[in-house]
């Protein structure tokens, strides 16, 4: 009996270890050694052509991971793409499709769309002058997507500090992770409809900044007019986002709540005064986010096309 019990315990331990340690930075070193360089070259070219694309690819990864894990569900046509948080807002699908086609040409059905998106997010940050980090690989792609989860799990631009903390905690991410990942708004642009309420109705906003934004975001029109999330260095990945918050120049409501006499004020001050501290925290948070519920082993599939499941 003792021997049988010992063997069964070993099996349980082995299964648990396999389940928790399947992502590896060297996952494609043998099966597709060119994959990482193909992704980097394509992302660098796309960002050089249009700096905003770096923020778009980073946001695609975030919107993927927060809905049923980092499984490329957001890349499937329809479903999540048509959900209110994503529709007419997410972009960069064509860049990922192009990368996938290039990789398929050299390594057929080997590299997942989920991994391509994760690496592309990292390479986008690097292309705009931000930090790099080692990306664990081995994710597989989902065979379904959920518009309902996109609505319930993606924190809205109207979120309070507590709602942000709760949304990230639900995904196993800490408050520090949340504040660091919000720093992704040091790049990219937002649509007028997402910040109109703040620039006309909120009081914890620099008046000159609000007036400047109102010029291109009227009260009743121009919903899709764009403004940089970071007016200081719009196309550079740095810590200016946090400096802006100290001056009440956060563009979105969900930005400024990070610095509004609340529990995250000191973290914002720290990141504003210490660029290296922010870079380190952001890299850590990105790895943590990339580890949200990945499909591995025999779960999911390696899609041949990122926009549809294999037939």
Instruction: Give binding residues for substrate as ranges.
Output: 155
> In the chain, what is the straight-line distance between the N-terminal and C-terminal CA atoms, in Å?
48
Contact, 262 vs 186, CB < 8 A?
A: no
**Eight-state DSSP code of residue 134:** P
Contact, 309 vs 303, CB < 8 A?
A: yes
Cα 160 from Cα 274, distance rounded (Å) = 25
Give the relative orientation of helices 275-290 and 265-273 as an angle to the nearest 10 degrees: 120
Binding residues for Ca(2+): 64, 67, 69, 71, 73, 80, 186, 230, 233, 238
**Residue 273: alpha-carbon gap to chain centroid:** 24
Cα 165 from Cα 184, distance rounded (Å) = 16
Residues 6 or more apart in contact with residue 267 via CB below 8 angstroms: 175, 176, 179, 258
Task: Check the CA dihedral 196-197-201-205 and report its sign.
Answer: negative
Quickly count: other Cβ atoms within 10 Å of residue 5's Cβ. 9
289: Cα within 13 Å, side-chain hemisphere: 33
DSSP reduced 3-state for 226: strand
Set 52, 59, 61, 63: catalytic member? 63
Respond yes or no: is residue 61 known to be catalytic: no
Cα 205 from Cα 113, distance rounded (Å) = 40
Contact, 267 vs 72, CB < 8 A?
A: no
Binding residues for heme b: 185
Cα 1 from Cα 17, distance rounded (Å) = 24
Q: Which residues are catalytic?
A: 63
């Amino acid at each position: 009996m003792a021997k049988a019990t010992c063997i069964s315990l070993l099996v349980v331990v082995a299964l648990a270890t396999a389940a928790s340690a399947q992502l590896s930075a060297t996952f494609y070193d043998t099966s597709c050694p060119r994959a990482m360089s193909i992704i980097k070259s394509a992302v660098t070219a796309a960002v050089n052509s249009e700096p905003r694309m770096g923020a778009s690819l980073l946001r695609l990864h975030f919107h993927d991971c927060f809905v049923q894990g980092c499984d490329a569900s957001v890349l499937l046509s329809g479903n999540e793409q048509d959900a209110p948080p994503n529709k007419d807002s997410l972009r960069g699908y064509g860049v990922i499709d192009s990368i996938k086609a290039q990789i398929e040409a050299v390594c057929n059905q080997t590299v997942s769309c989920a991994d391509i998106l994760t690496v592309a997010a990292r390479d986008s940050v690097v292309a705009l002058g931000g930090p790099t980090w080692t990306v664990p690989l081995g994710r597989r792609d989902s065979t379904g997507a959920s518009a309902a989860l996109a609505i319930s799990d993606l924190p809205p631009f109207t979120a309070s500090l507590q709602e942000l903390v709760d949304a990230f905690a639900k995904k196993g991410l800490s408050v520090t992770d949340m504040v660091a990942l919000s720093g992704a708004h040091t790049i990219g642009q937002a649509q007028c409809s997402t910040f109109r309420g703040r620039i006309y109705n909120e009081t914890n906003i620099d008046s000159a900044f609000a007036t400047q934004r109102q010029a291109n975001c009227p009260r009743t029109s121009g919903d899709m007019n764009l403004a940089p999330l970071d007016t200081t260095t719009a196309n550079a990945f740095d810590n200016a986002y946090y400096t802006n918050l100290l001056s009440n120049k956060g563009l979105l409501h969900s930005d400024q709540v990070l610095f509004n006499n609340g529990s995250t004020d000191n973290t914002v001050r720290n990141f504003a005064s210490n660029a290296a501290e922010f870079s380190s925290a952001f890299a850590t948070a990105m790895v943590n986010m990339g580890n949200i519920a990945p499909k591995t082993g025999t779960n999911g599939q390696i899609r041949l096309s990122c926009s549809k499941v294999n037939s």
